[in-house]
Amino acid sequence: MPVSQIKPNPKQPRQVFDEDALNELEHSIREFGLMQPIVVRELGTDEYELVMGERRLRASQLAELEAIPAIVRQTADEAMLRDALLENIHRVQLNPLEEAAAYQQLLDEFAVTHEELAGRIGRSRPVITNTIRLLKLPLAVQRRVAAGVLSAGHARALLSLEDADSQEELAARIVAEGMSVRATEEAVTLKKSEKPAKPKPAPRKPIQAPGLQELANRLSDRFDTRVKVDLGRRKGRITLEFGSVDDLERIVALMDENQAKQTRETD
């Protein structure tokens, strides 16, 4: 079949193609030809759409082949994504994020449960559910998973942390320190056991009673120093400032003088 007559699969779940692997496949095709046919479906006269074999088609185009072997299959629209997904899963070519996005797309298009989808593609329900959960990770962490810097095991461990900032912080540590999945799980457990610091109670604002400032001014004038009067909910406080020991003795002498005067007036 002429390569020019084949259109790519619009529902191809795989988004990242390893350039080195493509180049190796291209070299093999140039030397020995395409050993395994691609699978297409007929759209119209001399027009076909790819169902399976995206890498083989791309490598054949790089090798500048004019025609390649192909199997024409009658594939319905709703089966296109499923067939492309199954091929990539079995060939282990999807990264965890692409696989999660493909599962979610299948759920949306087929309107099925996780259990039903698992039965259709031959995977267990926990695998489907846990893989889709990777889409809940922060974008910064998802990029690391898509790039292969973080494994699916690392990503699933990070999902145990509820805070996105904590997930990103630990993801950076995993990359920097080369942490294993087991070490990551232990770090997550340790981080979850940490109790958040209790917020400091806000300082109580003094009660603004009428006449307090006037009283403070009178005392300041009487003792010739700065006086502050605070009134709390249960008790109050008078604070007098002094500049030196001599100044303190002066203030105390004024207090004694005032006390003696009040005693004489009482007598």
Q: Catalytic positions, please?
A: 54
Q: How far apart are the C-alpha atoms of 160 and 120, rounded to whole Å?
A: 29
Q: How many CB atoms lie within 10 A of CB 213?
A: 12
Q: Determine whether 171 is exposed, middle or buried from the number of CB atoms within 10 Å of its CB (0-12, 13-18, 19+).
A: buried
Residue ranges of E strands in 38-117? 38-44, 47-52, 70-72
CB proximity list for 12: less than 8 A, separation 6 or greater: 50, 54, 84
Helix (H, G, I), strand (E, B) or coil at 229: strand
The answer to whether the beta carbons of residues 83 and 51 sit under 8 Å apart is: yes
- DSSP element (H, E) containing 90: helix 77-90
CA distances from 79 to 52, 54, 106 (A): 11, 16, 10
Q: What tokens does 55 get? A: 């890498």
Q: How far apart are the C-alpha atoms of 84 and 15, rounded to whole Å?
A: 12
Q: How far apart are the C-alpha atoms of 100 and 108, rounded to whole Å?
A: 12
Q: Determine whether 164 is exposed, middle or buried from the number of CB atoms within 10 Å of its CB (0-12, 13-18, 19+).
A: middle
